Amino acid sequence: MIKWADVIHFTNKGNPTPDKKVEKTDEEWKQLLTPEEYQVTRLKGTERSFSSELCSLFDPGIYECKCCGTVLFDASEKFESGTGWPSFTQPIKENAVGYHADKSYGMIRVEVVCNVCEAHLGHVFPDGPPPSGLRYCINAVSLSKIKE
């Protein structure tokens, strides 16, 4: 189980090694993604809060990266955070996501990216429920849900 100390360690010392890497040019990403998906995942944008049905969807299933199809989160780790974005307590495995310091907008946060293709997913915070205490606050537009 990943804890906040692990998140800080990865942010400061380097991310776990991913199973593979996917690299594409901006033009290739633009051909694969909608303009909103591109803005959020490739340009570190944020979708409007409460703009996706994924916020209130709690059916079993797996969530994968919209850009490269890497499995990122299991619906069993999803919870209602009230923030307007899908929230999870853990990634599906330690090396599925990467962590970067985000000092934008006059604050310090930890950005979460797909560790395979570097797609911006959202941020992680130490205010989630037990036992991890983590809240992965993820842009729904960066995810695809696979029915179980």
53-104 residue pLDDT tens: 888 889 999 999 999 999 999 999 999 999 999 999 999 999 999 999 999 9
Which among 24, 11, 27, 34 has a CA at the least distance from the CA of 140? 34
Q: Which helix (H) or strand (E) holds 3?
A: none
What pTM did the predictor assign?
0.95
Report the chain's mean pLDDT, rounded to a whole number.
96
Place of tokens 């990122």: 72
Catalytic residues: 137
Class at the top of the CATH hierarchy for domain 4-146 = mainly beta
CB 49 within 8 A of CB 82: no
Task: Give tens-digit pLDDT for 83-94.
Answer: 999 999 999 999
